[in-house]
A and B are shown apart, each in its own frame.
Chain A
Amino acid sequence: MLKRGEKIDMKLLTIKNLSKRFGGLMAVDDFNLELKGGEIMGLIGPNGAGKTTIFNLLTGVYQPDLGEIVFMGKNIKNLKPYDICFQGIGRTFQIVKPFLNRTVLYNVMVGSFLWTNDIKKAEEEAIEVLKFIGLINKKDLLGKNLTIADRKRIEIARALATKPKLLLLDETMAGLNPTETEEAIVLVRKMQEEKKLTVLLIEHVMQVVMSLSERIAVLNHGRKIAEGTPQEVSCNENVIKAYLGEEYVTT
């Protein structure tokens, strides 16, 4: 296994033939994806396309029916969520789940305890992360007293505190106002540049996906219908069909 801080493998994450069925519904159908170290990739698709299911498969919340997930040369398919965090995958939740009755600092310290048993060190690291993310002046507020934008930030901060290599962001920009969205975009860029993070993001706000992602994968009914640069994807016939309907396809 690669140690933390070593040179990142060119292929950080390889997903092969990933499939998951819920009863009669094929939530994810033969999904393939490769992620290079250090890139930002967008995952888009209409509601119910299976995006969050893919995140849950990657993080061990669900077990895939078929397929392989290889992260940094290791098959992580059958690992539990907490083991996957140890491997270096952090995530946020579409429906935010902060520890509501605890302070912001407490929330982030839970993350930073992953690599230390010492409370002082955990606190120092959490404060570092809070400074990085711009929540430091709110560190003593309770989770339940935060705005939605800050709750989303706290989730990113918590995940960052576990020092991931790959960060999965599930609709982090949804419900933010334009200023907050702008700040969030800057933050994701900053994470990529300063923390050398690889980011896979689910997003409905097109402005965000288009400006952030180097590549985009489009999902519809559990299947990948397109993949490529933002320009390629936005001209793709299948994508326009999925989003707008048949009649909007111009040839």
Chain B
Amino acid sequence: MKDNSRGDINLVDPNYYLPLIALLILFCIPLVIKSVSWMQIMVLILWYACLTLSWNFVGGFAGVLPMGHAAYAGVGAYVSTLLFINYGLTPWVGMLIGGVISVLVALLIGVPTFKLHGAYYALASIAFVELLRMVTENTNKIFGIKINGARGLLIPLKGHSPFLFQFGEKIYYYYVILAMMLLIFFISYKIQKSKLGYYLVAGGEEQEAAESLGINVTKYKLIALSISAFFMAILGTFYAQLVLFIYPQGIMSLSLSFEIAFMAIIGGRGTLMGPILGAFTLVPLAELSRMYLSGSRFLGIHLMLYSSIIILVMLYMPKGLIGAFEKIYFFFTNKLFKKS
């Protein structure tokens, strides 16, 4: 997007009213869509948008490449669920505790691994999420608390009870996740326009130069990772409450980690809108190709289509979808401006 950091808000400027219109559409979608499965897809799109935005704090702004970010979602989902099952604590509070624990885990893992660069960091993060998944899959009980290993945990159904983060209809989940997305987007925006954002970018682009300018690069990367891990954990809790069932191969898997990274990279890492755009393109693509193609006689054709599109984007849009999107966007906004 264009730099709007200065100047007054001008509602005639398409850079202001177009995002507002997009937001309005997002608010109205549940009023139009009545199908449960379509609502589920909408909720998932927003959930993935939140995940990619959270990933973007580290993978985008700080310029490292985490490929095991589902680990933090897993920590959040398990902490809030275990607290709920065993102590009856509402996931609204549980998710904050999960967030804090996730930050501690992130710091523990971040201090040694941020000494690594490029592919080595990516490999270390993959090793970490796999380690966490395997440990969880092979643990039945720890300190008398039942974890249930690979079979996962069922969250007891309580009907429609907002206090316990369980809703009778998808529309509630939709507005909760929409609010989360706006919050994470707002924080991303604030960080990008602050010293923290500048320091993260500098450290990511040229570590040695950044350090000569007084930036403790590792410290700032850890701050970014903490923010990221906190939101990942909260999103893990959200998913647990949406599906009411969690298991290691799902919520703390390598495939979810890759999906998050792919979406953010294909959308445009390091930008504000890129990760959202990635989720809004790839989630429907995956869901639709699964819905309409997986039943056909060509097994796995939906995956082939999905990955072909990813490869094409990587080849022809090095800056991600956001680069192409911006060109179209500015083309039209310039036209609008000239007409008015």
Closest 3 CB pairs of A and B: A85-B214, A97-B209, A81-B211
A interface residues, how many (CB within 8 angstroms): 31
A80-B216 in contact (CB<8A): yes
Task: Give chain B's interface residue range (CB within 8 Å of chain A).
Answer: 20 to 34
**Among A65-73, A106-114, A209-217, A221-229, which stretch is in contact with chain B?**
A106-114
Residue from the set B201, B205, B217 with the largest chain A CB neighbour count within 10 Å = B205
**A138-161 at interface with B (beta carbon < 8 Å):** 155, 158-159, 161
The 8 Å CB contact of A80, one of B194, B209, B210, B211, is B211
Given A82-B216, A119-B194, A110-B202 contact (CB < 8 Å): yes
Give 11 A-B contacts (CB < 8 Å), ordered by A residue: A81-B208, A82-B213, A82-B215, A85-B212, A86-B214, A90-B212, A97-B209, A99-B206, A100-B205, A113-B195, A114-B214
Given A106-B198, A113-B198, A122-B195, A98-B209 contact (CB < 8 Å): yes
**A78-135 at interface with B (beta carbon < 8 Å):** 80-82, 85-86, 90-91, 93, 97-102, 106, 109-111, 113-114, 116-117, 119, 122
Chain B residues in 8 Å Cβ range of A93 = 208-209, 212
- Asked if B199 CB lies within 8 Å of chain A CBs, one says yes
- Asked if B193 CB lies within 8 Å of chain A CBs, one says yes
A101-B198 in contact (CB<8A): no
Residue of B nearest to A93 (CB): B209
Cα of A97 to Cα of B208 in the assembled complex, Å: 8
The 8 Å CB contact of A61, one of B5, B208, B216, is B208
Chain A residues in 8 Å Cβ range of B205 = 99-102
B212-A59 in contact (CB<8A): yes
Residue of B nearest to A95 (CB): B208
Cα of A110 to Cα of B212 in the assembled complex, Å: 11
Cα of A38 to Cα of B211 in the assembled complex, Å: 25
Cα of A113 to Cα of B216 in the assembled complex, Å: 13
- Asked if A198 CB lies within 8 Å of chain B CBs, one says no
The 8 Å CB contact of B193, one of A98, A119, A155, A159, is A119
Chain A residues in 8 Å Cβ range of B211 = 61, 80-82, 85
Cα of A106 to Cα of B193 in the assembled complex, Å: 11
B208-A158 in contact (CB<8A): no
Residue of A nearest to B206 (CB): A97
Given A82-B214, A82-B215, A119-B193, A113-B199 contact (CB < 8 Å): yes
Residue from the set B194, B195, B212 with the largest chain A CB neighbour count within 10 Å = B212
Chain A residues in 8 Å Cβ range of B213 = 82, 85, 110-111, 114, 158-159, 161-162
B214-A162 in contact (CB<8A): yes
Cα of A97 to Cα of B210 in the assembled complex, Å: 9
Binding site for B on A (CB under 8 A): 59, 61, 80-82, 85-86, 90-91, 93, 97-102, 106, 109-111, 113-114, 116-117, 119, 122, 155, 158-159, 161-162
- The majority secondary structure among interface residues of chain B is helix
Chain A residues in 8 Å Cβ range of B209 = 93, 97-99, 155, 158
Residue of B nearest to A101 (CB): B205
Cα of A159 to Cα of B206 in the assembled complex, Å: 14
Interface code B210-227, partner A: CB below 8 Å = 1, 0 otherwise? 111111110000000000
Cα of A158 to Cα of B210 in the assembled complex, Å: 10
Given A93-B209, A99-B201, A99-B209, A110-B215 contact (CB < 8 Å): yes
Give chain B nearest CB distance to A131 CB in angstroms.
Answer: 19
A81-B198 in contact (CB<8A): no
Cα of A10 to Cα of B206 in the assembled complex, Å: 35
* A-B contact sample (7 more), CB < 8 A, given A82-B213, A85-B212, A110-B215: A82-B212, A82-B215, A91-B212, A99-B202, A106-B201, A111-B213, A122-B198
Give chain A nearest CB distance to B310 CB in angstroms.
Answer: 23
Cα of A97 to Cα of B212 in the assembled complex, Å: 11
Residue of B nearest to A122 (CB): B195
